[in-house]
Amino acid sequence: MNVLHLIGALVTLTGSLFFLLGTIGLVRMPDFYNRVQAGTKATTLGAVLSVVGLGFFDLTWMPKLLLIALFVLLTNPLSSHALARAVHRAGLPLADGSVKDDLKACDTGDAKEVS
Amino acid sequence: MGDLTLPVILLFAALGITAIAATLATWQLLRGPCAATRSVSLDMLLVITLPLIVGVGVVAGRAIYLDVAMMYALLAFLGVISLARYFDRGL
């Protein structure tokens, strides 16, 4: 039994648990914005942990896997942010219990109430 | 990946949990009440599938899957960005 393989398997297991929690949040949350919030943060960390953990099984694959992890770490928050902002600008309403919408006040020029 | 030692069992468990998460994301993609929810489910599904591709490469022992995963990550990012642009201004 290889210790490096054990470390890699445990890190990959942690990442997959983050995936599971993120998708449970995706199914349970009430509206689109909460789903973005719950889903993409957990998925980013889960993808980084899973990919880096799989790299421990063959260390010659590690540089390329670190490159993939860095790419996911940079682009996944960016794409989810672009998606949420575009949908908000398209006018999708918030869930019923929401009390605060800073971006709407910012878009309509009411910026002094925000800051 | 021949004999069934503890790290291999843990790796298969992790890939199984990731597959369950992908199934949940697919279910939300089919169920979602509006196009925005479907697109965030698609975003999550694309990111979840990436370690599955790498995991298949590790289990099969073939390094070509790393290049596949890299191109897959790039195309997933471009796809979600184009979806966001579609919601904002139309194509």
According to the model, what pLDDT value does residue A12 have?
94
Q: Please report whether residue B28 resides in a domain.
A: yes
* Cα nearest neighbour of B62 on chain A: A61
Kindly report, residue by residue over B39-62, the tens digit of the pLDDT. 999 999 999 999 999 999 999 989
Q: Which residues of B touch A83 (CB under 8 A)?
A: 36, 39-40, 43, 80, 83-84, 87
According to the model, what pLDDT value does residue A109 have?
60
Question: How many domains is chain A built from?
Answer: 1
Report the gap between the CA of A100 and the closest CA in chain B (Å). 20
Question: How many domains is chain B built from?
Answer: 1
Mean pLDDT of A1-27: 91
Candidate from B28, B51, B84 with C-beta closest to A27: B28
Question: Which domain, by its residues, includes B49?
Answer: 6-89
Q: What pTM was computed for the model?
A: 0.87
According to the model, what pLDDT value does residue A115 have?
42
Q: Which residues of A touch B6 (CB under 8 A)?
A: 1, 6, 9
Kindly report, residue by residue over A64-106, the tens digit of the pLDDT. 999 999 999 999 999 999 998 898 888 888 877 778 777 777 7
Report the gap between the CA of A113 and the closest CA in chain B (Å). 25
Handedness of CA B50, B55, B58, B61 (dihedral sign): negative
> What is the complex's ipTM, to 2 decimals?
0.89
Question: b/e for A80-99, b at 16 or more Cβ within 10 A?
Answer: bebbbbbbbeeebebeeeee
Question: Please, what are the averages of pLDDT over each run of 10 residues along chain B (91 residues)?
Answer: 81 93 93 88 93 92 92 93 86 66
- Look up residue A35 and give its amino acid: R
Distance CA B61, CA A44 (A): 25
pLDDT score of A113 more than 90: no
Q: Please report whether residue B56 resides in a domain.
A: yes
- Look up residue A92 and give its amino acid: L
Candidate from B63, B80, B87 with C-beta closest to A79: B80
Kindly report, residue by residue over A18-37, the tens digit of the pLDDT. 999 999 999 998 888 899 98
Confidence grade of residue A114 (pLDDT, cut at 50, 70, 90): very low
Q: Please report whether residue B30 resides in a domain.
A: yes
Question: Which domain, by its residues, includes A13?
Answer: 3-114
- A74 touches B: beta carbon within 8 Å: no
Written as six digits, the tokens of A25 are: 């949040």
